[in-house]
Structure 1
Amino acid sequence: MKRITTQEINRLALPAIVSGVIEPVISLTDTVMAGHIAVNTKEVLGAVGVVTSFLSALLWIFIQSSRAITSQVAHAYGQGRLSQVKGLVAQILLLSLGISFFSSIITFACSEFILERFYDAEGTLLDYCLDYFHIRVWGFPFTLLTLTIHSIFRGFQNTSWSMYISILGGLINLVFNYIFVYIFHWDIKGLAWASLLAQGTMFVVSVVIMYKRTPFKFFWVNGLHPKFMESIRMSADLLIRSSLLQAVLYFSFSKATLLGVNGDHTIVATHTLLNQIWGFSTFLFDGYCNAGGLLSGRLYSTHQYQSIRELVKQLFYVVLGIGCGISVVYFLLYHQIGTFMTDNTDISLLFYKNFWIVILMQPITAITFLFAGIYKGMGITGVLRNAFIIATIFGFFPAFYISQSILEWGLSGIWAAFFVWMIFRGGILFLHYLSFFYKRAMQPSI
């Protein structure tokens, strides 16, 4: 049995944490900047939240076509046959390219319909949403292709390249947010242009590194690669899972918008802040979850079940400790975080009333993400799909109904339902690991 060392875990996890944190930082930077724009603060903040929610949904649905390539490349890396997946990688890159441009064109043309019908945006909120959306939507191809390339890097057992690229993108976004908003006074359009500039730069640098440091490139392959349909099957499982995730997030934003009385956008604006913090927090421990996925995929390709068991045991306590640590820090900085996020008094008061739920979710979320990362890395995507379906149908929606229709908790009810949802998601994967995979760890390693 080959034991994975802490040094090897950290080599993959620490750069993944940094690069992972930068992704939500770009959205979080827009949110913080929007929260400090003096004119129509609630509408600007709500527009950033709504548009970011939709574009994130679009991204995380279609990125599943490339997420599966991580485990495929990791398996090939573990077996020493990277040359055999060059054609597969090229086909996945071209698929992502086609999907991203088609999606941007369609959503741009239907932007007003989407925002009015699906997010109930109207009046000033709708105007700001359209201003922000019409610019940000063209960054979608850059982001999808960048994350596809980063998925290839991870399968190649390298997370450092993604870290450097993400840091560069985050710095560009931060600097030009300030320039476009506070110097040029472009307001919400300035936020959008800064994000687009950062996304384009990250894509160009990612392509350059891929061509120089890996055997993979964009090129046309006649006929489907033998592993292409397997990759599509895995992608379909992850697509269903991701679609449900985005459906739940959309549902929460839609309900938060409807909870506002007489056009008051305080609730959806506060929900935007809470959602951004929750998303940011997940990336603080997701680096170790990603590292677990990369290493487990490599070990699974050679049936080293006992090594995977030891790896999971190591990472369980690491991510649980990180989740608990985040909770402690958030409790200690409870009011300072609210003040940092917005100057609006109404939003701040509602934020303080609900932030504690997000804090308590952190350890459970950490464990959930760990097992999701392990199963993704091994390519056991059917279990992930089924766990998500069960958690959504029997966890989130019943909890939401009880909290809203019976207890009438408002925004607190939405986040209580999220809490129940995370318990179901993590609990199902944990039980499956104990009952199914743990038994295989008792077998002799090859």
Structure 2
Amino acid sequence: MCKKSTIQKLPTYRSIWNLALPAMLGGIVEPVLSLTDLAVVGNIGYNNFSESNENLSAVAAVGIAGSLISALVWIFAQMKSAISAVVSQAYGSFRMRNMASLIPQMIYFNAIVGVVALLITYFTSAWIFEHVLSAKGAILEDATAYFNIRVLGFPLTLITFSVFGVFRGVQNTWWAMVISIIGGTVNILLDFIFVLGWWDIVAPMGVEGAAWASFVAQVLMFLLTIYFLVFKSGIKLIHSLRINFAFRELLLIAGNLVLRTVVLNVALMLTHKFANIYGTVEAATHAVMLNLWLFSAFFLDAFATSANAMAGKFLGACDKDAMQRNLNRHLMLSIVVAILLSALLMIFHSGIMGVLIDNEKVWGFYPLVLPLFALCLPVNALAFALDGVFKGMGKAKFLRNVLFISTLFGFLPVLLIGDYISPGIEIIWYAIIAWMLLRGFIPYFYFKWWIKRF
């Protein structure tokens, strides 16, 4: 039974922005890095090759390898959302002393999981790209080389993101923003140095150079994260062999979110697989558009981050009115920002694509999916804001089931039937829209039902 422990301030637009803006600036760093890799390879060329097909192969390779890295991060970094939910509820009910041993145990757990995932994927990456994602020839070779370097920093990334969840739980998104921006800036600078070469000091490394730039940034971000946690956060840490009582709850939340994210990433990988089947131009176009989609997703996910932190705090305080206002105001802001993003993309699409890739074939192809892409963003805003609320409430099992239903009854039917009737990358984006509609509206109506019974 929930007992209201204290009166919490109702969420205001200002308090939401105080959490969302740093999360937004920090959250877009990851997709910016992937877009920078694509832009450097797509505009400058690859290993001094000038033929367009070789250039497109490199772009497609970075696209699918980057997507696999993102998939691994999303799947295994769900401890970030789990620890955020547990810590924010403890923060809202003034029980932070119970977190002292849980946080170090969470870090050790992520280190072990990260090393295991690194070893498995490092030795199977070529097989995955060839047999799962249908990559061939130069795309297969470049994707494997890029991935096998970037994945070396994967354990450090898992720990970094999980500690970001701790910061979020105590209603602080500024430190994650600072760390992400520093790491992202270093990554972008090194992208140009390593890919192009720097005088006679650094030889041009092409696609592999982009991967090494990301690895160096991962190491730097990890070191900064540990510094902020240990020396700046003020959070008491106890290293104990006795398992914290909340660790089981943490694993249950993370486990359900991992299962959910596995299905999510299988769906995204299927979009690459179908695009690769349709052709090299289609694969390169889809790689660019999906990375733009991921950029917008991380941008909008800032509101999910804010909703997550506040939902956990208000649930811990048993404040029904604050929980309802938390959802309403996050939805309003998120959808408005999504519409603005869609409008900007439709107006400045030629300039944006010109920056990302220098290829006339892609320039002539992407307008086929641009309206669908723009339509998808407000739907994404609805889904992501609700994701954040339910993650903060710790309802990972519900989110898992929603993702399963949306994939089985929205994404897959549209993709497979559409491919059979009229194959093309437009079908991929119709499937994504159907997927996101179900991911948004099912949680919305469930929350309305749940809050009445709270």
User: Which TM-score applies when normalising by structure 2?
Assistant: 0.93
Q: In structure 1, what is the Cα distance between the partners aligned to 2:101 and 2:65? A: 35
Q: In structure 2, what is the Cα distance between the partners aligned to 1:383 and 1:305? A: 19
Alignment of 1:395-410 (within 5 A): 395-406=410-421, 408-410=422-424
Aligned to 2:200: none
Q: In structure 1, what is the Cα distance between the partners aligned to 2:362 and 2:294? A: 19
Q: In structure 1, what is the Cα distance between the partners aligned to 2:136 and 2:30? A: 29
Aligned to 2:139: 125
Q: In structure 2, what is the Cα distance between the partners aligned to 1:331 and 1:438? A: 40
Structure 1 gaps of 5+ residues are 441-446
Aligned to 2:250: 231
On the 8 A contact 1:90/1:216 being kept in 2, the answer is no
Alignment of 1:19-418 (within 5 A): 19-38=26-45, 39=49, 40-183=54-197, 184-215=203-234, 220-260=239-279, 265-406=280-421, 408-418=422-432
1:196 positional shift: 0.7
Q: Does residue 24 of structure 2 align to residue 9 of structure 1? A: no
On the 8 A contact 2:187/2:216 being kept in 1, the answer is yes
Q: In structure 1, what is the Cα distance between the partners aligned to 2:380 and 2:38? A: 23
Q: What do residues 50-72 of structure 1 show as CA deviations (whole Å, max 9, x unaligned)? A: 11111111111111234201011
Q: Aligned to 1:98, what secondary structure does the other structure show?
A: helix
Q: What do residues 401-431 of structure 1 show as CA deviations (whole Å, max 9, x unaligned)? A: 221112x141000111001100011010111
Aligned to 1:444: none
Query: Counterpart amino acid of 1:75?
Result: Q
1:129 positional shift: 1.5
Q: In structure 2, what is the Cα distance between the partners aligned to 1:434 and 1:284? A: 26
Q: What do residues 282-302 of structure 1 show as CA deviations (whole Å, max 9, x unaligned)? A: 222221221111011100012
1:89 positional shift: 1.2
Query: Counterpart amino acid of 1:116?
Result: E
Aligned to 1:443: none
Q: In structure 2, what is the Cα distance between the partners aligned to 1:175 and 1:222? A: 42
Q: Aligned to 2:369, what secondary structure does the other structure show?
A: helix
Identity of aligned residues (%): 31
Of 207-216 and 427-436, the range deviating more from structure 2: 207-216
Query: Counterpart amino acid of 2:435?
Result: W
1:439 positional shift: 4.3
On the 8 A contact 1:90/1:217 being kept in 2, the answer is no
Q: In structure 1, what is the Cα distance between the partners aligned to 2:393 and 2:409? A: 26
Q: Aligned to 2:128, what secondary structure does the other structure show?
A: helix
Query: Counterpart amino acid of 1:213?
Result: K
Q: Aligned to 1:222, what secondary structure does the other structure show?
A: coil
Q: What do residues 364-421 of structure 1 show as CA deviations (whole Å, max 9, x unaligned)? A: 1001100110100111112211111111111111111221112x14100011100110
Q: Aligned to 1:110, what secondary structure does the other structure show?
A: helix
The total of aligned residue pairs comes to 435
Runs of 4+ more than 6 Å apart = none
Query: Counterpart amino acid of 1:3?
Result: L
On the 8 A contact 1:93/1:218 being kept in 2, the answer is no
Of 337-346 and 239-248, the range deviating more from structure 2: 337-346
Q: What do residues 118-164 of structure 1 show as CA deviations (whole Å, max 9, x unaligned)? A: 12222222221122122111021121111111111111210000011
Query: Counterpart amino acid of 1:256?
Result: A
Query: Counterpart amino acid of 1:37?
Result: I
1:16 positional shift: 0.6
RMSD: 1.5
Query: Counterpart amino acid of 2:186?
Result: I
On the 8 A contact 2:100/2:238 being kept in 1, the answer is no
Q: In structure 1, what is the Cα distance between the partners aligned to 2:73 and 2:192? A: 26
Q: What do residues 64-122 of structure 1 show as CA deviations (whole Å, max 9, x unaligned)? A: 23420101111111122212112111111111000111211221122222222212222
Q: In structure 2, what is the Cα distance between the partners aligned to 1:313 and 1:296? A: 12
Q: In structure 2, what is the Cα distance between the partners aligned to 1:362 and 1:156? A: 29
Q: In structure 2, what is the Cα distance between the partners aligned to 1:328 and 1:129? A: 33
Q: In structure 2, what is the Cα distance between the partners aligned to 1:302 and 1:43? A: 53
